[in-house]
Amino acid sequence: MTDDRPARPGRALGVDLGARRIGIAVSDSAGTLATPRGTVARTGDAARDRRALVELALEEEAVVVVVGHPLSLDGTRGPAARAAEAEAAALADLLTDRGIDVELFDERLTTVSAHQALTAGGTRGRDQRAVVDQTAAAILLTAWCDARRAR
């Protein structure tokens, strides 16, 4: 997995790992705009879910996959953060040989922000559940793009 190496130009795929769904967002090649791309439903087969993410990264011609790192509010690593780290490492094993980097990025409060944004936009209840994961992925990826430009 990458760390603070200089960023390569190209598209990024944002991944918000959820228990039932994986939210997906994609950036433009300049890294200025992140757009919700959809969700991948968890199948119960982690290898199959990872293959779906690899296919999306290849389809979108991503140069990096940004995986949400759900740190605790105090910055510590709990079970969800450790699970995301393991998932990111497994994705890196599949993507690095294809020239695609994998990065973890702090995702604290992205789902909360996604719910707030959707509510403010008039999306509620069942409709919100259908898009909150991809909205959270877009918020995560936007924050990553902003941080990358600031470096």
Domain with 37, as residue range(s), is 11-150
**Residue 4: inside a domain:** no
**Residue 3: inside a domain:** no
**Residue 6: inside a domain:** no
**Residue 22: inside a domain:** yes
For residue 16, pLDDT beyond 90? yes
Listing DSSP states for 38-68 in one string gives EEEE--S-HHHHHHHHHHHHHHTTEEEEEEE
Per-residue pLDDT tens over the stretch 20-59: 999 999 999 988 899 999 999 999 999 999 999 999 999 9
pLDDT of residue 21: 92
Q: How many CA atoms lie within 13 A of 47 on its CB side?
A: 0
What is the spatial distance between Cα 76 and Cα 24, in angstroms, rounded to a whole number? 25
CA angle 52, 54, 57 (to 5 degrees): 110
Total domains, the chain: 1
- Which helix (H) or strand (E) segment holds residue 16: the answer is strand 11-17
**Residue 1: inside a domain:** no
CA angle 31, 3, 32 (to 5 degrees): 10
**Residue 2: inside a domain:** no
Which of 71-80, 86-95, 128-137 shows the lowest per-residue confidence on average (mean pLDDT)?
Answer: 128-137
For residue 2, pLDDT beyond 60? no
* pLDDT level of residue 98 (50, 70, 90 thresholds): very high
**Residue 85: inside a domain:** yes
- Domain containing 132 — which CATH number? 3.30.420.140
Which of 3-12, 47-56, 78-87 shows the lowest per-residue confidence on average (mean pLDDT)?
Answer: 3-12
For residue 5, pLDDT beyond 60? no
Find how far residue 126's CA is from the centre of its chain.
22
For residue 6, pLDDT beyond 60? no
DSSP-assigned letter for residue 98? G
Per-residue pLDDT tens over the stretch 102-145: 999 998 756 656 656 666 777 666 665 657 788 889 989 998 99
What is the spatial distance between Cα 54 and Cα 49, in angstroms, rounded to a whole number? 9
Higher local confidence (pLDDT), 128 or 101:
101
* pLDDT level of residue 150 (50, 70, 90 thresholds): confident
**Residue 19: inside a domain:** yes
